[in-house]
Amino acid sequence: MPYYEVNHTTPLLPSQKSDLALRLTQIHSTRFATPRLFVNVRFTDLSASSPTDATTLYVGGHQRSKSHILAHVRTGASRTQADFDALCAEIAGAWEQIVEPMPKVRRGEEDGDRGLYSVFVLGDIVAGREAGFAIPGAGGDGDWLAENMGAFRARAEGGEVEFGELVREVEERGLIAGKKSEAQRLEEMMGWGDSA
């Protein structure tokens, strides 16, 4: 349901992309109780070494080489400014842990700033379809999961691995409305235990 765009000027290793995609998925799915199957992450290499670099970025009216993450999300009364501020902080923290510690790689010129310049949360997902299902409004995930669980199970039984994983996640995390315990919510927020 959310769509994350990672526009990076720092060249990223495939392992860094995988680690960052997994971390963004975990952050979003636990903060907003969104099943992992529905968290999308796209990477765009804007580095000077990228053969497909067709993007020019300006910051403060000057051409700059900076990394940014855009999070396209659903908004609603169940998601507060504090929730989105915390989401931004967690995303920035994930970048710092995964990207910044890696050694610089020389590619004919000095590797630039490895920091994440910005994280923007854009509340621009009004409606959509994903994996054949109309997506719910923000805060309606539990009811939506309950309504569609039969179809999810049928697709899992039909051999669609990602739907098997979805069914297990929904059951293990208690994502159907009213089934998640306070302990599970705390574990998810803290990144602890099986609920993380």
Predicted TM-score of the model (pTM): 0.81
Among candidate residues 125, 119, 116, the one with its CA nearest the CA of residue 39: 125
Cα 53 to Cα 14, 49, 111, 146, distances in angstroms: 18, 8, 16, 44
The full set of domains in the chain, from first to last, is 3-136 (3.30.429.10), 140-196 (no CATH)
Structural contact between residues 65 and 7, judged by C-beta atoms closer than 8 angstroms: no
Tokens at residue 12, please?
């990223």
Q: How many CB atoms lie within 10 A of CB 35?
A: 20
**Separation of alpha carbons 129 and 40, rounded Å:** 13
pLDDT in tens, 89-126: 999 999 999 998 766 554 443 455 788 999 999 999 99
Lowest-confidence pick of 37-51, 52-66, 89-103, 145-159: 52-66
User: Average pLDDT, whole number, for the chain?
Assistant: 85
Instruction: For residue 40, give the DSSP letter.
Output: E
Written as one letter, the residue type at 87 is: L
Question: Does residue 196 have a pLDDT over 70?
Answer: no
What pLDDT is recorded for position 190? 64
**Separation of alpha carbons 79 and 149, rounded Å:** 24
Lowest-confidence pick of 11-15, 96-100, 171-175, 186-190: 186-190
**Separation of alpha carbons 52 and 49, rounded Å:** 9
Cα 37 to Cα 3, 93, 95, 130, distances in angstroms: 12, 23, 21, 10
Among candidate residues 190, 187, 156, the one with its CA nearest the CA of residue 173: 187
Structural contact between residues 156 and 164, judged by C-beta atoms closer than 8 angstroms: yes
Length of the chain (residues): 196
The DSSP H or E segment spanning 116 is strand 116-122
Give the bridge partners for 58, in sequence order: 63
Give the bridge partners for 77, in sequence order: none
Higher pLDDT, 143 or 62: 143
What pLDDT is recorded for position 51? 55
